Amino acid sequence: MDLSEDLSINEEIRSYKDRLRIFLILYFFSEPYSDSEFPSRKKIFRTEVRIQKLDFLLRNPDYLAYELLLLAESDEKQKNEIQTHVKSIFDNKEPIFKRLEMERFFFGAYEDIDDVIGFLIGIGFIDYKSETTVSLKSVEKEYFITDYAIDKVESLLQSLSQLTWYVNRCKLIRNYFGNKTGNELKVAQYKISEYRDTSYKDYITEISSKVKEKYEQLFNLEL
């Protein structure tokens, strides 16, 4: 196999992972939806900003762990539970093996997902709508998960063990941050200096050492 074939295979694998990951975000973080004009639309997910910020947490286990620790710092009731999650993330070396870097764009972590959304529309998994706001300053994007997608995915979730990590991670993020809007997630990420200070178009800096320091501060244990 020559280098061009190897690169082509890697691109195909990456494309498959992107489609899977973005769809699971839409699926797990959407809300029930009903419209007699569009009976196939069963769930709705609002705004691309929210996709991008949730995708960042999914792709960067060190940042997810840090945000969980900040939550533990302010909520004693969840402290022990969060300690278990963060320890598991680092015991499994997820910041090394699961990390998928994202570039710093104008408004934080961003990656073009137009091709992914186009693919999901093309196979009938989602419908899509965008509207420019009255101020003409932004576009509100809505993503609708179809009954066809739900039927297909719910059967696959039971049969494909390869999806287990993605499913469990989406559920974990949803449990702690699922009620956050895209802007709220963005604000939280901007509070982390390494994220905020990464230069435009550079990959956002990893923060494993920062997580370990915070973990030791909170639990008096090394991570």
Q: How many CB atoms lie within 10 A of CB 32?
A: 8
pTM of the model: 0.92
- In this model, does residue 11 exceed pLDDT 90? no
Q: What value, to the nearest 5°, has the Cα angle with vertex 169 and ends 163 and 173?
A: 145
- In this model, does residue 187 exceed pLDDT 80? yes
- Given this model, what pLDDT does residue 106 score? 86
Nearby residues of 105 by Cβ (< 8 Å), 6 or more positions away: 200, 201
- Given this model, what pLDDT does residue 2 score? 54
Q: Which of 9-13, 49-53, 63-67 has the lowest mean pLDDT?
A: 9-13
- The mean pLDDT value for 194-213 works out to 96
- In this model, does residue 9 exceed pLDDT 80? no
Instruction: Assign 136 a pLDDT band (cuts: 50, 70, 90).
Output: low
| Alpha helices by DSSP H, the chain | 3-28, 48-59, 61-74, 79-91, 94-97, 114-122, 147-159, 164-177, 182-190, 193-196, 208-219
- Given this model, what pLDDT does residue 158 score? 75
- The mean pLDDT value for 137-151 works out to 89
- Give percent above pLDDT 90 in the chain: 80
Q: Among residues 47, 44, 27, 55, which one has the least CA distance to residue 141?
A: 47
- The mean pLDDT value for 3-25 works out to 77
- In this model, does residue 3 exceed pLDDT 60? no
| Structural domain that includes position 81 | 3-219
Instruction: Assign 110 a pLDDT band (cuts: 50, 70, 90).
Output: very high
Which of 1-10, 14-23, 132-141 shows the highest mean pLDDT?
14-23
- The mean pLDDT value for 146-155 works out to 92
Domains: count for the chain: 1
